[in-house]
Amino acid sequence: MSLFNFIKQQVSILDVIGEVVSLKPAGHYWKGSCIFHAEKDASFTVSPEKQIYYCFGCHASGDVISFIAKLEHLNQLEAAQLLIERYQLSVPAELTKQIHSSTTEEKDAKDRYFQTCKAFSAWAHKQLFSNQYAVDYLVQRSVSLETIKSFQIGYFPGGQHNIKKLLKDLQGEGFLLRDLHDAGVLADGKGMPYSPFEERIIFPIKDMQARHCGFGGRVFRTGDDRAKYYNSKEADGFEKGKILFGFDMAKKAIQTEESVFLVEGYVDCIMMVQYGFINTIATLGTACTIDHLKQLSRHAHTLYVLYDGDHAGQKAMLRLAELCWEVNLEMYIITLPIKHDPASFLIDGGDLLGYKASAVEIMHHFINSLGANFLAKPLAQKMSSAEKIVGTIAKIKNSFKQDVLLHHAAAVMQMPFDSFKTLLNTTMRKQAQKIQFETPVEVGHVVTEPQESTEPDNQLLEEKIFSGILGGIAAGKLLHVPGDVRPYFSSRMQSLLMLVEQWHSHHDGSSSVSELLDSFEAFHKEWVVRVAMQHNTQTCHQLFDRLLDRFCKVHWQRIVKDIKQQLVKAKLENDTQTMNDVLERFSHLKQGMMQRGLVR
């Protein structure tokens, strides 16, 4: 048994996915809204029997390990280790060895990246306290020594002698010049390395697993005309659109408060925490993404956004309003006084709790912003604003909430409610035409006869036949496609049938569909999971034989032609045994089809 199979036997895919997706029973399946893409329908489907999941909208698919890997942005081994820790699994000694032997060169490189970032973070923090000018700057910004230590804020002194000092100090810990290059701390200059972080205050950044993965650097010396902030470059371990500054420290408070504050910059986040708002995080100089929001929605119910009141800040808030319907978060906007950011507001004694109490729901803010002075705008601008507002409202699932927001839009823009309702209905019809999800259909435990399909008959039958084979594996039955019928299947199906047979020869009847998937290449897996979930063909031999007979009907002319050619060849070679074998197989095949009325 492999480590992955052991884990899948110990944890329930329904329980694991049910922690982050609201699932409801639907026949043999459980369904809910997909966490990996925006949707209004419940196209995310879980099969406890087969231990797999599939989304008919975005086609995300796999088993419990691949679900965690996709959810947490991990590789398969890291996801397995997370499940072991989360569910406190006692892994047998022989499987524990697999954890170490499965360590790949890629994982080694990633671990080295995180270790290098951690070492540099500690080095820069130490340098800060060796430079009074840098410490004074932070103190003047009202950052306390306790906060400096808590966030491990650092400083990278300039000059080649300090780069040599960095190399010497980290070499003593086993790190090389190449490691610092890979981590983005150093870069190649004219004959010697340099660092884009020189003469900057260093803010270490950690990922969701609290691993040091990057840095933000801020200029602070008078006359330094470089860009105010410099962030680490994108890398395998550092994706700005998926990482939130301060999340590792704020996670527990976010879960306790069930709410989170989102700010724009490192200093704003640090000062919020210093003033007691521990459940605060910040984006890394980029717009807040859907990945950020999905991450937060797994830990909080309410998000309070504090962005600057300038044009860029307002634009960011409007973008958030367009994303908010995609996640299960109540989002509110806290508008601070003009020329104030969260840090300056708190330092000047501002009452953030009072502003929080008067926070505006983000959709109301969205409507208020786009609908301001509506009647005074040109017609084209009126249409654009109305379509943006209604287009976003159309994506909200709750019809009552839609009407509430439409009434608000009508009041702000001084237009009849019916006009907005008509525009909403038109918009929703257009969206429905674009998004049509395929979902499996079951009536109790009876599989209905196939309806008219736009798919070629051959493709549909192949999928149902393979689905039957998978259902057989889940039920501990072996359903077999005869060898003389296989040549009429597509090359992919022939390849999969061969792989299933090879797998069967090494496994007993207790094996599962998810174990079979582990033996397939990635390009086969999505097709197999989709087929298993979409058709869910019953596993009885009678139904499976009916499908095979229907498949033979589609190819009957080719089968008859091939049989005749085999008989002619056997006759020319005077091979009586082959002739008898061919005739017997043909007679058996034809008899089954005649019984079903497929041929005469």
On whether both 186 and 265 belong to a single domain, the answer is: no
Residue 131 shares a structural domain with residue 74: no
Of residues 477 and 156, more confidently modeled: 156
Q: Residue 489: inside a domain, yes or no?
A: yes
My answer on whether 63 and 186 are in the same domain is no
pLDDT digits (tens, 9 = 90+) for 511-554: 677 777 777 766 677 778 887 777 765 556 667 777 877 787 77
Instruction: Confirm whether 574 is domain-assigned.
Output: no
The better pLDDT of the pair 310, 315 is held by 315
Within-domain flag for 367: no
**Is 359 part of any domain?**
no
Q: Is residue 566 part of a domain?
A: no
**Model confidence pLDDT, tens digit, residues 433-459:** 654 433 343 333 333 333 333 344 677
Domain match, 110 and 221 both? yes
Condensed to tens digits (0 to 9), the pLDDT of residues 476-488 reads 777 778 776 777 7
**Domain-located, residue 589:** no
- CB–CB of 582/590 below 8 Å? no
Give the residue numbers spanning the domain of 158: 106-237
Instruction: Say yes or no: 531 and 511 in one domain.
Output: yes
Q: Are residues 42 and 127 in the same domain?
A: no
Same domain, 380 and 490: no
Is the pLDDT confidence value at 155 over 90? yes
pLDDT of amino acid 177: 93
Residue closest to 345 by CA, chosen among 247, 256, 453, 272? 272
- What pLDDT, in 10s, does the model give residues 349-393? 999 999 999 999 988 888 988 888 899 999 999 999 899 889 888
How many domains does the structure of the chain reveal? 5
pLDDT of residue 15: 92
191 and 249: one domain?
Answer: no
CA distances from 442 to 29, 127, 309, 447, 449 (A): 9, 66, 53, 6, 11
What's the predicted TM-score (pTM) here? 0.61
How confident is the model over 184-240, as pLDDT tens digits? 999 988 878 999 999 999 999 999 888 999 999 999 998 999 999 999 998 888 988
Q: How large is the average pLDDT for residues 575-588?
A: 80
**Claim to verify: residue 267 and residue 202 sit in the same structural domain:** no
**CATH code: domain of residue 13:** 3.90.580.10
CA distances from 280 to 56, 217, 304, 572, 584 (A): 36, 20, 9, 85, 76
pLDDT averaged over every residue in the chain: 83
Q: Are residues 348 and 470 in the same domain?
A: no
DSSP letter assigned to residue 195: -
Q: Kindly state the average pLDDT of the residues 293-320.
A: 78
222 shares its domain with 138: yes
